[in-house]
Amino acid sequence: MKKYSIYLFAAATALLSAACSSGSDSAGADPEVTFTTEVTRTDVQTALGSGAQMNVYLSQTGTVVSKTAVLHQGLCTGSTWKGVPPIYLKPKEEQFLFAIWPYAQEATDATKYPVTAAAQTDYLYSGAGVSVSYEKPTAVLKMRHAMAIFAFDVRSYVGGRLSRIEIGGEEFPTAGELRVTSGKITVRETGSYAHTCDLALSEQGSGDGVTFFVIPFELKPAKEVEVKMQVGDKEYTCQLPAREYMGNTKYVFHTNLTEAGLSLLPEQIEEISLDEAAGVQPAAAHYGLLRIKHNAESIVVPEVAGTEPWGMIYWGDGKSEPYASGKSYTYTTPGAQLLSIDLWGADGVTFSSLKGIEEIDFSKF
């Protein structure tokens, strides 16, 4: 009887040992997939830290996300990311990692991750897949910025306090779907976005005082996107210049607010890649305002002398356009007009003709 009990105990111990070994093979012996992230321009988006969550996709291909790509929740612990629940691969198995920040449980399709302008989120994407395998379970994902950044530097020659910037129109995107491999956002909705602020304005400019995220888009000639600024109890408007506004790029609009109006010229847009270091704000050129009272049906603006002068013409009938030497204009309704020209970098003017001109005001030139 005693001998039988010893054999029974030995058999039970063997079974228990086998059970423990089986559990270790499924969760302990297999290496866990982990990764770290590098974010371009962390002065735009702080490096993702402990507790952050993102969408992690596992796919069998590294260039095009397959329809069978599996969504996992990624959680940052310290400086390392892990899957929740943990991700394990079988011997000789290879998969490719993709990621989008922040975590969106409903975004199961890595080619149609939803984004909106209203969320004001710096959506980050990893681009082409990074290989992980049973033999090499760790990876580094380089995260880039999918959105464009609009920053408005407002130089005001009338003072005032800026409380709101609204930008919008039929061409301005407000919602879309992000593709993880390229960062391209397919526009699904258009409209407007309004950004509130409280900023005292001066001739020194506001720097990057008003900054927000925008879905990338291309604005073609003859298409309009309007910029509205609320300064005190007055609203000023101008048109966004036609061009392509790309993701992973910051656009600094050096705008000018004068008695004549608000101007935003293409040559005053500073473009900064978010893969590069921050740019330096250019110094303001000398500003002058020229006013001309006239009753001419057609008029030619004066020649301007100076070092690369530039400016904005306000014809007096609600129309405006960038200054160009020798530019002429014909009014649809003849009569008395007040023509105003904002000029920067100008140190002299020459009129080719004074026909129809009643008064020239140089007091603020």
Q: Which 8-state DSSP code applies to residue 23? A: H
| The two structure tokens encoding residue 265 | 């010229």
Q: Give me the residues paired with residue 313 across strands.
A: 321, 341
173 upstream amide cis, omega within 30 of 0: no
| The two structure tokens encoding residue 107 | 């975004």
Give SS3 for 286.
coil
85 upstream amide cis, omega within 30 of 0: yes
Q: Provide the pLDDT for residue 5.
A: 39
One pLDDT digit (tens) per residue for the chain, 365 residues: 444 433 333 343 433 333 333 333 444 568 899 999 988 776 676 668 899 999 999 998 887 776 678 899 999 998 899 999 999 999 989 999 999 999 999 999 999 999 999 999 999 999 888 999 999 999 999 999 999 999 999 999 999 999 999 999 999 999 999 999 999 999 999 999 999 999 999 998 888 779 999 999 999 888 889 999 999 999 999 999 999 999 999 999 999 999 999 998 888 899 888 875 444 444 456 778 888 999 999 999 998 888 778 888 889 988 888 888 888 999 998 889 998 998 878 888 888 888 889 998 888 87
| The two structure tokens encoding residue 205 | 């400019």
Q: Specify the pTM.
A: 0.76
Q: Provide the pLDDT for residue 29.
A: 67
Q: Which 8-state DSSP code applies to residue 88? A: B
Give SS3 for 20.
helix
Q: How far apart are CA 272 and CA 42, in angstroms?
A: 14
CATH T-level assignment (fold) for domain 148-273: Immunoglobulin-like (2.60.40)
Q: How far apart are CA 79 and CA 365, in angstroms?
A: 58
Class assignment of domain 34-143?
Answer: mainly beta
